[in-house]
């Protein structure tokens, strides 16, 4: 994925490029860097090093305390060592993919808030994102996405009341 696809100066993505849920105008933050996530602990899990770093930087610009992992197994270890307020996880990854990771995270901590992201690989990303929701992700975001949309959705998730354990 090119950095251009994530650059917040690029034109807005087509409607079928982005799947943002649970955002209302009242909870959508303005431009990044305003501290909307100050003090929130965020764990970002993605095997794409460039995207992982972009997301980490975007969350840090908003004041979040960020941990990263390159696959689901590493993400589970990071969460066990230091629970977080929000987990952003890719779906298609080596070692332990995102759906398995979401299932295990919800088993360990039913109230943990999860944002699943996916470009879908060779399969329609909608299928993976719907599956992620069915296993407990609070929201989903399809790749490519704008970093502002990622931050807005994270803010909306963290601002919402805790979900009831299943």
Instruction: Lowest mean pLDDT of 33-37, 68-72, 89-93, name the range.
Output: 33-37
Q: Does residue 84 contact residue 37 with C-beta atoms inside 8 Å?
A: no
Confidence (pTM)? 0.77
Q: Say how many C-beta atoms besides its own lie within 10 A of residue 134's C-beta.
A: 10
Handedness of CA 120, 156, 112, 65 (dihedral sign): positive
Q: Which band of pLDDT confidence, cut at 50, 70 and 90, is reported for residue 121? A: low
Q: Mean pLDDT throughout 139-147?
A: 92
Predicted confidence at residue 79, as pLDDT, reads 97
Instruction: Lowest mean pLDDT of 6-15, 47-56, 76-85, 102-111, name the range.
Output: 6-15
pLDDT digits (tens, 9 = 90+) for 97-111: 899 999 999 999 999
pLDDT digits (tens, 9 = 90+) for 46-70: 999 999 999 999 999 999 999 999 9
User: Mean pLDDT in the chain?
Assistant: 80
pLDDT at 5 exceeding the cut of 60 = no
DSSP string, 7-18: -TTSPPPPGGG-
Q: Mean pLDDT throughout 65-83?
A: 96
Q: Token pair 């960020």 is at which residue? A: 66
């Amino acid at each position: 994925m090119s950095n251009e696809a994530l650059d917040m100066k690029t034109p807005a993505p087509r409607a079928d490029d982005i799947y943002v849920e649970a955002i209302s105008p009242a909870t959508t933050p303005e431009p990044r860097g305003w501290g909307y996530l100050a003090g929130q602990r965020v764990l970002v899990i993605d095997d794409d090093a460039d995207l992982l770093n972009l997301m980490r930087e975007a969350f840090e610009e908003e004041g979040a305390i960020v941990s990263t992992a390159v696959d689901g197994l590493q993400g589970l270890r990071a969460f066990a060592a230091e629970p977080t307020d929000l987990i952003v996880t890719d779906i298609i990854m080596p070692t332990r993919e995102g759906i398995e990771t979401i299932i295990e995270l919800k088993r360990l901590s039913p109230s943990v808030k999860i944002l699943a992201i996916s470009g879908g690989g060779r399969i329609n990303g909608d299928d993976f994102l719907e599956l992620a929701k069915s296993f407990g992700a609070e929201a989903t975001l399809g790749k490519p996405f704008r970093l502002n949309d990622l931050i807005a959705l994270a803010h909306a998730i963290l601002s919402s009341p805790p979900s009831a354990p299943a």
